[in-house]
Structure 1
């Protein structure tokens, strides 16, 4: 977890699960481009399809772009809990999960693309069993999303 990251508020919290994954991109990427790439990957589109059914409302790429550009404080089931120029922390409507995206420019011209999550238990001091059992799958999903987003950023840069 990057020092000073918005997601750090949940690290070590009693009954909370946090994770953070990163990959390097060989170029400069700003946060809006990363957010857009992340939430428009084919893998996240599957999650968006499920959410669209549950919400009975289509989730459009324009919703992602509005979030990325700071024109919206909500996206699907998430609202912006905090935002900085290089990071964003989203909270789900139930208040139990957080999604964190960040970019960090490096001296060598690369950019660290960062994705993290937090799941906060409800006053029990422990996460529900189902959440604990799903953690390995969540980790794989998170790594897949991050890799696909990095690839999408790369493709966007080469086609520009």
Structure 2
């Protein structure tokens, strides 16, 4: 199940950005920001989450496309960024980082990917994933717009974001089972 697992996808919830989210600076105005969350058993650190996310089979498909566009990457590079030992990965660089969250910016400066971990009331971990897209100036008046392509692809983006978070949860769960065995 490379792209879709309905049971796993049902556990992914769209939510508001937490008050301290780095991504909040891009929400509102004419830009776009979203946030999804899922709970996982146990205590999961930011590095483990980010590495799992960037090394899922689903995200490796995106990495392959980016490689063709001149932005190659490896699992080792993903691990270095996840652990805070590097500031670049594929087409992104670290814009902001704290112990519990990471904000990545793409080479165009137009899109952001955001990751956060938080302990929840059950003593487990909530994983957050969000994206932001900033508008571009269009027309002679220089008004800012998200553009037709963005609007047309929005449903695909939302499905893909949920699938990426589900894939990261699945990878973390598998690695936890392996460690416990």
TM interval, short-chain normalised: over 0.9
Partner of 1:54: 69
Rg larger in structure: 2
Partner of 1:42: 57
Partner of 1:95: 109
For the pair 1:33 / 2:52, whether they are aligned, the reply is no
Q: Distance in 2 between matches of 1:101 and 1:60?
A: 19
Unpaired segments ≥5 residues, structure 2: 1-16, 138-142
Q: TM-score, normalization: structure 2?
A: 0.85
For the pair 1:73 / 2:92, whether they are aligned, the reply is no
Matches within 5 A, 1:1-160: 1-12=17-28, 14-55=29-70, 58-123=72-137, 124-160=143-179
Q: Distance in 2 between matches of 1:53 and 1:101?
A: 25
Q: Distance in 2 between matches of 1:87 and 1:63?
A: 18
Unpaired segments ≥5 residues, structure 1: none
Q: TM-score, normalization: structure 1?
A: 0.96
RMSD of the alignment, in Å? 1.0
Between 1 and 2, higher relative CO (CA 8 Å, sep ≥ 6) is seen in: 1
Q: What is the SS of the residue equivalent to 1:125?
A: strand
Q: What is the SS of the residue equivalent to 2:151?
A: helix
Q: Distance in 1 between matches of 2:30 and 2:131?
A: 14
Q: What is the SS of the residue equivalent to 2:145?
A: coil
The count of corresponding residues between Structure 1 and Structure 2 is 158
